[in-house]
Structure 1
Amino acid sequence: MKTTYLTLSLSTVLLLGIYSCKKGESSATDYTGYQATDSASAMTSDSISSAASMNVKDKQFIKTADINMGVKDVYHATISIEKSVQQMGGFVTQSNLRSNVVSEDTYNTSDQEAMLIKKYQTENTMQVRVPTEKLGEFLTSVNNDKLFLNSRSIHAEDVTANIRYAELEEKRNQKTSENIGKISSNKDKVILDDQNKSEGNLQKLTSMNRADRLTYSTVDIYIKEPKLRVAEIAITNTNSIDNKYRYNFIYDAKDGFVYGFYLIQKIIVTLINIWPLLLIASALIYFLRKRKISIPEQTSKE
């Protein structure tokens, strides 16, 4: 009996040990799964800027990005983006914030007051330049302001060959300048030297622009609010003001009397200006009447 009891006790202890081991393995598996999920989330977050932060040995890239997204408040998102650009050592080259009015109605609330109701949608088109090494960080900060990402494109142009070609062209230009210096002075030498210097200046300008685009990446941003906003603006009731001053009998009667008086003066002045014509017309009328009187007298005598 005692042997049977000892056997059952040992069996129970073994089963509990196995269960504990299983539970520990399960907990470890769950923890590992949680770590994998957390790492996946981090990778998803980092993937926002992975293309922007790409670096390849012995390669140089001019990087640009284009973002189109919806935000809750365009004005606050614009301020946030401009602040991020400034903190990262970049600058804003364009910011065109505007409100597109969808409808505009006026409602009279009293004889003197009215309410102007505007329904509008705000959007902004921006272009910013940020240091290339901070492009990924900037795109991540912009992503925090979005409600919905419509599109985002990142372009990296490999200009390694162009840079090497520019270096070769610079050497060629220097060699050409040395060869021109060996020519005896004449008119052709002046022309060749001028053309060579002009070509050298263009090469320097191209190199400067390329260096600027390598140092600072260009990001075009378009943000828009997904819903209409409503603005309530208190204004004056213009209808009551128009009705109040539309007609004034005393003033209009006085104005009509004055106008009639000036009209009579104008007529008199006009008659004075054409007095020769009036005199000629009077003379013609007199002679015609006199002739008509004389003709019947002769007829009656006959």
Structure 2
Amino acid sequence: MKTICIQLSLASVLLLGLYSCKKGEAARKDYEASATADSAAAVTSDSISSVATMKVKDKQFVKTADVNMEVQDVYETTISIEKTVQDMGGFVTNSNLQSSVLSEETYNTSDKDAMLVKKYQTENSMKVRIPTANLGEFLTLINTKKLFLNSRTISAEDVTAEIQYAALERKRMKTTADHISELKSSKDKVKLSDENMSEDNMQQLANMDITDRLKYSTVDIFIREPKLRVSEIAVTNTTHIDNKYRISFIYSMKNAFAEGCYLIQKIIVLLMTIWPLWVIALLIFVFIKRRKPARKIQKTISE
């Protein structure tokens, strides 16, 4: 009897242990599922702002965004963003991709070859227009390209009042046009009609602009690579080329002798060119020579 009681007690302890283990495992799974859901929610909330997808009844918003982030490869990211914009029905209005060279050195590797090593950093400033309905999705997609997000600004400007005011202005101008049409024909009527039509054209232009901004959101994107890139370019060893074609001593002596001969030739040609001066000088010399004996004779006679 005592043995049976001991066995029942041991069985009870084992059952309680198994139940506790299963309960703990279930609790752990629930916790992991909750953590996963919280993590997914955090990613979702981080990758897309509620401003980008905000909709309010009887309100209209002009939405813009500004994204500054670091990416692994600027060129590949640029191509990906441009393709995404095109697939979503948007368009790129500006893309300025450039590499800033921070250092440039040439290392000679042999008598003929050398290696040009450039250290540079690539960046790109883009401006894209994306359908407003796809703004949130677009920001989510480009967010997956980032290594580090420096800043992201999303704004929604309420233009409901401006749209209503534009409608009232169109109505006012129509009424003004009706009143002007009732006036008698004169120069003043033509002037008033022209001014009212010009004002109406300006208002229509403003309406088209705000309609375009409502339909397409403007996104400014600045991307750069966090680290420097190195470009190795095979070039010619210019030092070896300079030494190869440097003038030799013997050639220099020959050239100097030839230049001396040319100099003598130029001097002779110059002397031959001024032969009239030599003739004049000779005549003056002969004239002076003849005058000296005549002076001596006169001096002798006078004595």
TM-score tier, shorter chain, comes to 0.7 to 0.9
Match of 1:211 in 2: 211
Partner of 1:128: 128
**Letter of the structure 1 residue corresponding to residue 153 of structure 2:** S
Q: How many Å separate the matches in 1 of 2:198 and 2:267?
A: 76
Instruction: Report whether the alignment pairs 1:181 with 2:164.
Output: no
> % of aligned pairs identical?
52
Whole-Å separation in 2 of the counterparts to 1:259 and 1:136? 84
Structure 1 equivalent of residue 44 of structure 2: 46
CA distance in 1 between partners of 2:148 and 2:194 (Å) = 56
Q: Using a 3 Å threshold, how does the CA distance of structure 1 residues 189 and 232 change in structure 2: closer, same or farther?
A: same
Deviation for aligned residue 1:14: 9.6
- Unaligned 5+ segments in structure 2 are none
| Partner residue in 1 for 2:269 | 268
TM-score by length of 2: 0.84
- State which drifts further: 109-118 or 30-39: 30-39
Could you say if the C-alpha distance between residues 241 and 195 of structure 1 is closer, same or farther in structure 2, counting changes exceeding 3 Å? same
Tell me which of 34, 37, 40 is aligned to 2:35.
37
In structure 2, the CA distance between the partners of 1:184 and 1:281, relative to structure 1 (3 Å rule), is farther
Q: Deviations over 1:199-239 (max 9, x none)?
A: 11111111111111111111111111111111111111112
How far is 1:271 from its partner?
Answer: 5.3
**Secondary structure at the counterpart of residue 82 of structure 2:** helix
Range with greater deviation from structure 2 (278-287 or 136-145):
278-287
Change over 3 Å in CA distance of 1:297–1:122 after alignment to 2:
farther
Q: Say what the alpha-carbon RMSD is for the aligned residues.
A: 3.3
Q: How many residues align?
A: 299
Partner deviation per Cα, 1:173-209 (whole Å, 9 max, x = no partner): 1111111111111111111111111111111111111
* Cα separation, 1, equivalents of 2:253 and 2:291: 52
Kindly state the Cα deviation for residue 5 of structure 1 after the two structures are TM-superposed: 5.0
The answer for unaligned runs of 5 or more in structure 1 is none
Letter aligned with residue 161 of structure 1: A
- Paired with 2:176 and 2:190, the residues of 1 have a C-alpha distance of 13
C-alpha distance in structure 2 between counterparts of 1:183 and 1:285, whole Å: 111
Name the amino acid aligned to 2:122.
Answer: T
Tell me, what secondary structure is at the counterpart of 1:59?
Answer: coil
Query: What is the alpha-carbon distance in structure 2 between the residues aligned to residue 17 and residue 216 of structure 1?
Result: 64
Do residues 171 (structure 1) and 176 (structure 2) align?
Answer: no
Shift of 1:292: 5.8
Question: Which residue of structure 1 lines up, in the alignment, with residue 146 of structure 2?
Answer: 146
* Paired position in structure 2 for 1:162: 162
TM-score (norm 1): 0.84
Amino acid at match of 1:34: E
Give the direction of change, closer, same or farther, for the CA distance of 1:294–1:154 in structure 2 (3 Å limit): farther
* In structure 2, distance between residues paired with 1:51 and 1:210: 19
| Deviation, structure 1 residue 35 | 3.8
* Distance (whole Å) between structure 2 residues aligned to residue 40 and residue 214 of structure 1: 34
